[in-house]
Structure 1
Amino acid sequence: MSSIDRLILEFDSALRSVVGGANAHRPIPESDAGGNLGLDAAERKHAAGLMRVNHVGEVCAQALYQSQKLVARNPEIREMLDHSAQEEMDHLAWCETRLQELGSHTSYLNPLWYAGSFAIGLAAGLAGDKWSLGFVAETEKQVENHLESHLEKLPKDDQRSRAIVDQMRIDEIIHGQAAKDAGGVNLPEPVQKIMQVMSKIMTTTAYKI
């Protein structure tokens, strides 16, 4: 693939991340229950808020992976990041579909989330591959924790959202381990704390807007 073709594909991914229309390569995880079976208005609103947070997380993931791929020194690491980004695009599409089913919308601040995450990912990538991979591993660990908490917070009858979130959680664990196996280092504790604070701001805001 030529550099121009890759640039076009990356731009298309960025655009779909921000404005919607992400394409999934894997089918949406299914459950035995129907889409909104047994959910009242308050439960649908709560589920939509949580799934919007998850969607924003995937918008940020696309920005992080795209920026880190741009400056990765090792072609094998770039390929690994590209593979993870493709699976994260599935997550993006699944969350978008679920939000539509719940009668809700993606975050109105997606351009801001994407731009901020791209800048952070670029900085991590420029620090070197081992730090970039360490950032990926820590990010995926924190996302995994968020998804586990959402499995507890989602309405008990919302099995469709649960199926999506659970598959996302499984994928995030694999992505984080792949980053570690590729040479990612543990980030300093202050950096981890800053990431947690920023994540808290994002999740609180995205739940509502």
Structure 2
Amino acid sequence: MTARQLSSLDRLLSRVDNALRTLTPGTTRAERQNPAPVNGEDAPLPDTLRRHVAGLMRINHTGEVCAQALYQGQASTATLPHARHAMEEAAREEEDHLAWCEDRILELGSVPSHLNPLFYAISYALGAGAGLAGDRWSLGFVSETEQQVVRHLEDHLTRLPDNDLRSRAILTQMREDELRHAITASDAGGAPLPPPIKGAMALMSKVMTFSTYRL
């Protein structure tokens, strides 16, 4: 039997469903087991450190919200079927990160960022624009995005308390996955982005991290 071809309406409803699941707490489920050890904290975190870690994990959660939107936006405008499939597959893999970050935020007694819908909308538009520019540029956008995320995760790993093994394990696994996504996109023919675009992406990342750490 051949797989049923999705209509434009099917794909639209799928993207709406993804947006609702991404933005509604408690609805995203990870396919892989959470890498955080069961008894990951050697000692309870003081309130100040707990709020700090919650802020870091909230940033990472919003980053995964943006990743979902970017991939969905790119998939909506990708011209080649294999490129569209690659974007949709990457989005599914990122759902694990989304669920892991949300779980850790709740464990720390906090909530995801209230700004997630705004950043989802902005990221979806950016992803759709990258897809319209062509599949080489779209893949290059993925590669650059993931490389920036890797550097961002490495910075967060240095800012975690030494005894917070649960958050550290999650971010370490996320870093490995994001690095693989960057290499895959580059090897698939992604074009290097011009420096001004890289700079604009970095600026948006700074705005996101500053705001979601607090909100």
Partner of residue 11, structure 1: 16
Q: 2:213 corresponds to which residue?
A: 207
Deviation of 1:32 (Å): 6.2
Q: Percent identity?
A: 54
- Please name the residue that 1:44 is paired with: 50
User: Which stretch shows the higher mean deviation, 81-90 or 137-146?
Assistant: 81-90
Q: Structure 1's 193 and 147: CA in aligned 2 closer, same or farther, altered over 3 A?
A: same
Unaligned runs of 5+ in 2: none
Q: Identify if the C-alpha distance between structure 1 residues 183 and 173 changes in structure 2 by more than 3 Å, giving closer, same or farther.
A: same
Match of 2:40 among 34, 39, 52: 34
Q: d(CA) in 2 for partners of 1:90 and 1:142?
A: 19
* Closer/same/farther in 2, CA of residues 79 and 153 from structure 1, 3 Å limit: same
TM-score normalised per structure 2: 0.92
Q: TM-score, normalised by structure 1?
A: 0.95
Asked whether the 8 Å contact 2:130–2:141 carries over to 1, the reply is yes
- Partner in structure 2 of residue 118 of structure 1: 124
Deviations along 1:8-35, whole A, 9 cap, x unmatched?
3332221121122211111111326435
Distance in 2 between residues matched to 1:6 and 1:128, nearest whole Å: 20
Partners of 1:36 and 1:102 within 8 A in 2: no
Answer whether contact 2:55 2:214 (CA < 8 A) is retained: yes
Unmatched segments (≥5 aa) in structure 1:
none
Amino acid at match of 1:18: L
Output aligned runs, 1:181-200, within 5 Å: 181-200=187-206
1:130-158 CA deviation, whole Å, 9 max, x = no partner? 11111110000000000000100011111
Equivalent pair of 1:13/1:22 in contact (CA under 8 Å): no
Answer whether contact 1:35 1:101 (CA < 8 A) is retained. Answer: no
Q: Give yes or no for the alignment of 1:150 onto 2:145.
A: no
What amino acid is aligned across from residue 180 of structure 1 in structure 2?
S
Stretch moving more, 51-60 or 14-23: 14-23
CA distance change for structure 1 residues 92 and 35 in 2, over 3 Å: closer, same or farther? farther
* Distance in 2 separating the partners of 1:144 and 1:89: 17
